[in-house]
Structure 1
């Protein structure tokens, strides 16, 4: 089997999480400057066997697309052009940032550590991936 890689896209930073090769465990991988996201993913898939990109789909409470969807669509087009061999799926990411923050509190991180937005993005990507694994 191959890994699944989850992306919590942001206009400044993007959180990334990945499964093990058996697709059992979701782990935070890193947070990348969004300008470097496509080159990072391109290099990663050259080193690791990835079969699926999961990209968070932010929605409003009424199920309409969020404002950031325009940026995500542009990213998806670039990603598909650069790495057409890997399937891309979207996953509802409502509340992942709030859950990530609550997870940080529950794990005992201090206030300064909880202000680390890069860590929140990485945890959010992990939550997106974990929800997908649960739904399989």
Structure 2
């Protein structure tokens, strides 16, 4: 019985370690997407990470008028696993990469300062569980 309990605890910690390590790798991949080939986007300093299992994660931020932003997201080697949707505080959809084959990043310029909610979820047709990483950057 003791062996079973110890094995269960060990498996639990190893499992969390694998998830954390997987997320750390994805953060580096997401940084590459955020900077892009032209390397003219700078991170806002936040890394939005969630382990998703058939669910959505929400992140709140503010976009400042006149600024060009890039949202980048990844959940694995196929960068089209993550769907991100930008909504205003009333829930109106401003943008979703779902309409663009789940593009792993998107650039846009906002005309006015606006607080937003960004929802991330995995594309259930491609992946049902795993770590999703999103970063937001602005153009230099």
TM over 0.5: no
Q: Normalized against structure 1, the TM-score is what?
A: 0.27
Structure in which a larger fraction of residues adopt strand: 2
Q: Normalized against structure 2, the TM-score is what?
A: 0.26
